[in-house]
Amino acid sequence: MDASMAMTKPTTVGEVRLAYQEQDAALTLREGLDIYYAANTGLFDTSQASSETLGTYLKNHDVTHVVFGTTTAMADEMLQDMWTFLAVDVSKKAYVFDFLGTDESKVIMKSLKPWETLKVMVMALPAWGKIVVRSRQMTKKWPWTGWEGYLDMPLGEIRRAFNLQVL
């Protein structure tokens, strides 16, 4: 599936909602990842990561973006972190510290503008409450590792199996 077929209705002026973000998406997790990568060509190449551990971490993180229906916009990254803390079976310590201290994290941290980050955090607060409620409604947590068995399953089916409601 090419990226042009992956786009659906606009969510706000200038933004396009991608097909993997639809609650009952018929496309598979593998197809959703293809769309995610096509829409985010500037992401770190996991095969070029500074360590194998970081490459695996980035791949796991990218998969959660697709499963939970988020993008790489700053607000969605913050929401994705909340989803991960509450609805993914990875320890908070591993999630944070496996990334901090890497060359890649330093590049990302330097690119953040403090006032812009604070503004986005404040604007995201109402969505954080929704994530708390929705993560508690899930029947089980998404696996941080071992998700490969879901690659050929439709996203809508995955979300039903976990009782996951995307934002």
Spans of all domains in the chain: 3-162
3-class DSSP assignment, residue 161: helix
Find the helix or strand (DSSP H, E) in which 63 lies. helix 52-68
Share of the chain above pLDDT 90, in %: 49
Residues 6 or more apart whose Cβ sits within 8 Å of residue 153? 28, 29
Is the overall model pTM greater than 0.85, yes or no?
no
**111-140, pLDDT tens digit by residue?**
767 777 777 777 888 888 999 999 999 999
Cα–Cα distance for residue pair 63/129, rounded to 1 Å: 22
Cα–Cα distances in angstroms (integers) from residue 112 to residues 59, 98, 116, in the given order? 22, 19, 8
87 falls in which pLDDT band (50, 70, 90)? very high
